């Protein structure tokens, strides 16, 4: 793990060095501006974290400079023993805060990590912009947040003094992914309307993300008129996968024709698909889940039960559906050719870095060409409006959420998660 982390830092450093060489030659740089990334890039989370980090690094190297300052990125890893870790994330933020050169952070990747990082970063007015955090309670003051998640936007933001939305210049946390209030219901609508599923069994991994998305799925599915059976939570914190057999048998008995997994591949999200063998017929039983299972690991874990009856939602738009992004994506594909270059959130993370850099640029202008303070960066970030990202036009509202998040549904076709449909939510 330590070695893996060292390696990624090394790669990042080389990329950065290369970027400096190519962009600052000839022109006189006014100085250096640093941003950081905080993502899980080792262990089992690396399958989604590394591609995201590569996207952020590419944004920094390809944009190169902002208002005459040379851009740099420092990569942090919030995984411990191969899994994302909230404590490690908070430590990384503390480390970033003490490094006065860093003015903003791309990340984190996981909602649970975000909940630990936001209060630390908020006290220092350090900007966080996440490509993939989807837990609604990170930004939205909903009635059940304290009882279900044990936190709400106000408790995460000490600077805002219980006023949500925060007073201008106090909110430091932004994201561009659609919250679970959308991702769960989107799959519920799709399951009920398009797949004509009437009875579904729902489980979650007892983590903030999995629990939230599963609850929101179940709520909407029932509202549509469907039946949710065997709503259970499994302890996935151990090193062995939970035993799903008796739960699956119970779901079968209760007439379920689909399973919804409020989980990620790192929390054994697709193991029930493999354990279904002999209980459910995979060719007539659907397996549904959030973006956390929309990766290659899920399909490997499903073994010979992996088929086209598996669907996952993604809380970000598909950049390859955006004609304006084609040129940048082509350049990225030429620059980054390994497996670890492409993941569900690569282009969204690129967008986060680009939005952060754009905000830094506006903050420099507002500060009459001088290096901006961290407060000036979060103020500029909050004013992001109609930013042309790879994943579409992005505006941020006063809670830190995207104003019109886009979701997509993907289907497993022959071993790859394939774009099926996407739809914007105006909010």
Partner 1 sequence: MLERIRSATGGRILGLAPLDLIGLLVLAAAIIFVIPRVADRGAGYLAQVIVFGIALGAIYALVALGYTMVYGIVELINFAHGDVFTLGAFISLPLLGAFGLVEDKSHGIGLLLGLIPVFLITMALCALVNVAIERVAYRPLRNAPRLAPLITAIGMSSILEGAMFLWRGPFNIHYPDLLPANQIPIGGGVTISAKSVIIVGVAIILVLALSLFINRSTLGKAMRATAQDRDAAQLMGININATIATTFFIGAALAGAGGIIYGLYFGTLTAFLGFTVGLYAFTAAVFGGIGNIPGAALGGLLIGMFSQFSDAYVDTAWTQVLIFALLILVLVFRPSGLLGMRVPEK
Q: Which is nearer to partner 1, 130 or 305 (CB)?
A: 305
Q: Which is nearer to partner 1, 60 or 270 (CB)?
A: 270
For position 414 contacting partner 1 by CB under 8 A, the verdict is: no
For position 246 contacting partner 1 by CB under 8 A, the verdict is: yes
Q: Which is nearer to partner 1, 220 or 276 (CB)?
A: 276
- Select the residue interacting with partner 1 from 46, 116, 187, 197 (CB under 8 A): 46
Q: How far is the CB of 162 from partner 1 (least distance, A)?
A: 32
For position 297 contacting partner 1 by CB under 8 A, the verdict is: yes
Judged by CB under 8 A, how many residues of this single chain contact partner 1? 39
Q: Which is nearer to partner 1, 172 or 265 (CB)?
A: 265
Residue 54: Cβ within 10 Å count: 29
For position 279 contacting partner 1 by CB under 8 A, the verdict is: yes
Q: How far is the CB of 277 from partner 1 (least distance, A)?
A: 5
Cα of first residue to Cα of last residue in the chain, in angstroms, is 41
Tokens of 121: 């970063």
Beta bridge partners of 203: 232, 261
Within 216-235, the residues that bind partner 1 by CB under 8 A are 232-235
For position 80 contacting partner 1 by CB under 8 A, the verdict is: no
- Select the residue interacting with partner 1 from 253, 331, 388, 413 (CB under 8 A): 253
For position 303 contacting partner 1 by CB under 8 A, the verdict is: yes
Residue 193: Cβ within 10 Å count: 10
For position 43 contacting partner 1 by CB under 8 A, the verdict is: yes
Within 106-165, the residues that bind partner 1 by CB under 8 A are none
Q: How far is the CB of 352 from partner 1 (least distance, A)?
A: 25
**Binding window for partner 1 (CB under 8 A); candidates: 41-49, 115-123, 341-349, 419-427:** 41-49
Query: 171 and 165 in contact (C-beta within 8 Å)?
Result: yes
For position 44 contacting partner 1 by CB under 8 A, the verdict is: yes
Q: Which is nearer to partner 1, 64 or 233 (CB)?
A: 233
Would you tell me which residues interact with partner 1 (CB under 8 A)?
A: 42-44, 46-47, 82, 203, 206, 232-235, 238-243, 245-247, 249-250, 253, 265, 268, 271, 274-275, 277-279, 297, 300-305
């Amino acid at each position: 793990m330590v070695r893996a982390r060292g390696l990624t830092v090394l790669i990042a450093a080389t990329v950065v060095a290369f970027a400096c060489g190519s962009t600052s030659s000839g022109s006189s740089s006014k100085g250096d501006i640093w941003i950081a990334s905080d993502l899980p890039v080792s262990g089992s989370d690396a399958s989604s974290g590394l591609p995201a980090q590569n996207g952020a690094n590419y944004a920094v190297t390809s944009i190169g400079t902002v208002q005459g300052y040379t851009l740099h990125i420092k990569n942090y890893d919030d995984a411990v023993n191969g899994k994302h870790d909230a404590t490690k994330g908070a430590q990384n933020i503390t480390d970033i805060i003490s490094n006065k050169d860093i003015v903003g952070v791309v990340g984190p990747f996981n909602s649970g990590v975000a909940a630990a990082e936001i209060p630390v970063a908020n006290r220092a007015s350090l900007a966080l912009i996440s490509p993939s955090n989807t837990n609604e309670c990170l930004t939205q003051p909903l009635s059940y947040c304290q009882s279900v998640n044990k936190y709400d936007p106000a408790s995460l933001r000490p600077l805002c003094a219980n006023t949500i939305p925060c007073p201008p210049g106090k909110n430091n946390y932004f994201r561009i992914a659609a919250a679970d209030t959308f991702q769960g219901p989107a799959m519920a609508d799709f399951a009920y309307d398009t797949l004509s599923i009437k009875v579904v069994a729902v489980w979650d991994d007892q983590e903030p993300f999995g629990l939230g998305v599963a609850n929101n799925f179940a709520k909407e599915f029932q509202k549509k008129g469907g039946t949710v059976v065997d709503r259970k939570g499994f302890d996935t914190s151990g090193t062995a996968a939970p035993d799903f057999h008796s739960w699956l048998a119970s779901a079968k008995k209760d007439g379920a024709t689909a399973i919804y997994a409020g989980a990620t591949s790192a929390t054994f999200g697709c193991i029930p698909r493999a354990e279904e063998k002999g209980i459910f017929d995979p060719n007539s039983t659907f397996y549904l889940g959030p973006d956390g299972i929309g990766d290659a690991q899920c399909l490997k874990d499903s073994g010979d039960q992996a088929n086209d009856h598996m669907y996952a939602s993604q809380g970000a738009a598909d950049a390859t559906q955006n004609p304006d992004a084609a040129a940048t994506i082509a350049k990225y594909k030429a620059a980054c050719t390994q497996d670890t270059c492409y993941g569900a959130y690569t282009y969204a993370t690129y967008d986060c870095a680009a939005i952060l850099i754009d905000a830094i640029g506006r903050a420099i202008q507002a500060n009459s060409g001088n290096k901006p303070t961290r407060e000036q960066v979060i103020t500029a970030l909050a004013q992001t409006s109609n930013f042309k990202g790879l994943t579409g036009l992005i505006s941020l509202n006063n809670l830190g959420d995207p104003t019109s998040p886009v979701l997509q549904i993907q289907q497993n076709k022959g071993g790859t998660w394939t774009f099926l449909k996407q739809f914007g939510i105006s909010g």
